[in-house]
């Protein structure tokens, strides 16, 4: 089964009706948290809590801008940790002209020092323009790949071997509950998303993106539960409640 979800920022009209988004069949959302070393999305916490309450899996992203990477990472952590905890996955949006792989690595290092996992968003034209990026901290971490060709089958570039998320539409999709148009992504490997990859991988390892998203039934305290994201929690009312 292919899973899909929008990514949003302050560019979308607010508030967003996340229950409508979930009712339309989407199962995850990616919400912009920060950009550079100073900007914070004023709707970030509101969107994260609303999407969680509607039953969606949520990830934050940081737009990597020009400037000191360590300062950017520390800024992102200060905002993201208000609604996410250690070992959660943070996407790094790497697409701005003039931003080097060293800035990306420094941003990532600061975020990972705080205990978070990281993945990289980028797109083919940008990646090819910067040539061999020499990204020391890209391998072994999930790739979110902008892939707008009609077949949505563009392979992952080195150092990745698989795609965890595939952005299939760029600011061109009307999503119930979201005003205006949004980007849309889907699970990149057999429609799955990168929950388990982010949880299992260690820096420098090459985790299997295909083992990313599974909802495996188990039992806790006599109740049927499913494991989603990094926590194993009851699949129902508790899954729909916003986490701290």
Give every residue of the chain whose pLDDT is below 70, as ranges.
131-132, 188-244
What is the count of structural domains for the chain? Answer: 1
CA angle 25, 30, 34 (to 5 degrees): 160
pLDDT tens across 35-74, in order? Answer: 999 999 999 999 999 999 999 999 999 999 999 999 999 9
Residue 244 lies in a domain: no
Domain that residue 68 falls in: 4-215
- Residue 120 maps to which CATH number? 3.20.20.80
Residue 226 lies in a domain: no
Instruction: Return the structure tokens found at 73.
Output: 């990472």
> For 194-197, which contacts have Cβ atoms below 8 Å and span 24 or more sequence positions?
194/89, 194/119, 194/142, 194/164, 194/165, 195/57, 195/89, 195/228, 195/229, 195/230, 197/142, 197/164
Nearest to 143 by CA among 121, 128, 117: 121
Residue 46 lies in a domain: yes
Distances in Å between the Cα of 122 and the Cα atoms of 93, 165, 210 are 6, 11, 19
Where does residue 240 rank: exposed (0-12), middle (13-18), buried (19+ CB within 10 A)?
middle
Residue 80 lies in a domain: yes
Q: What distance in Å separates the CA atoms of residue 144 and residue 94, rounded to the nearest whole number?
A: 10
Residue 160 lies in a domain: yes
Q: Are 91 and 119 in contact (CB under 8 A)?
A: yes
> In the prediction, which pLDDT does 50 show?
98
Residue 243 lies in a domain: no
Within 10 angstroms of residue 139's Cβ, the number of other Cβ atoms is 17
> In the prediction, which pLDDT does 178 show?
98
Residue 220 lies in a domain: no
Q: What distance in Å separates the CA atoms of residue 244 and residue 236, rounded to the nearest whole number?
A: 17
Residue 235 lies in a domain: no
Nearest to 42 by CA among 51, 54, 53, 31: 31
């Amino acid at each position: 089964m292919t899973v899909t979800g929008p990514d949003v920022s302050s560019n979308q009209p607010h508030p967003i009706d996340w229950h409508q988004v979930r009712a339309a069949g989407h199962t995850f959302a990616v919400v912009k948290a920060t950009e550079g070393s100073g900007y914070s999305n004023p709707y970030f916490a509101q969107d994260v809590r609303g999407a969680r309450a509607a039953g969606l899996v949520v990830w934050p992203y940081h737009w990597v801008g020009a400037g000191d990477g360590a300062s950017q990472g520390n800024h992102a952590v200060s905002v993201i940790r208000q609604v996410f905890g250690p070992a959660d996955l943070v996407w790094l949006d790497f697409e701005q002209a003039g931003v080097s792989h060293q800035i990306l690595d420094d941003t990532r290092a600061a975020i990972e020092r705080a205990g978070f996992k990281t993945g990289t968003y980028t797109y083919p034209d940008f990646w090819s323009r910067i040539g061999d990026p020499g990204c020391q901290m890209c391998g072994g971490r999930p790739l979110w790949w902008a892939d707008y060709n009609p077949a949505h089958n563009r392979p992952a570039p080195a150092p990745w071997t698989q795609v965890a998320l595939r952005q299939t539409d760029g600011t061109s999709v009307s999503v119930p509950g979201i005003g205006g148009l949004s980007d849309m992504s889907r699970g990149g490997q057999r429609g799955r998303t990168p929950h388990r990859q982010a949880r299992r991988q260690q820096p420098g390892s090459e985790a299997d993106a295909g083992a990313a998203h599974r909802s495996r039934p188990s039992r806790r305290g006599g109740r049927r539960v499913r494991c989603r994201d990094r926590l194993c929690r009851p699949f129902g009312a508790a899954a729909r409640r916003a986490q701290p």
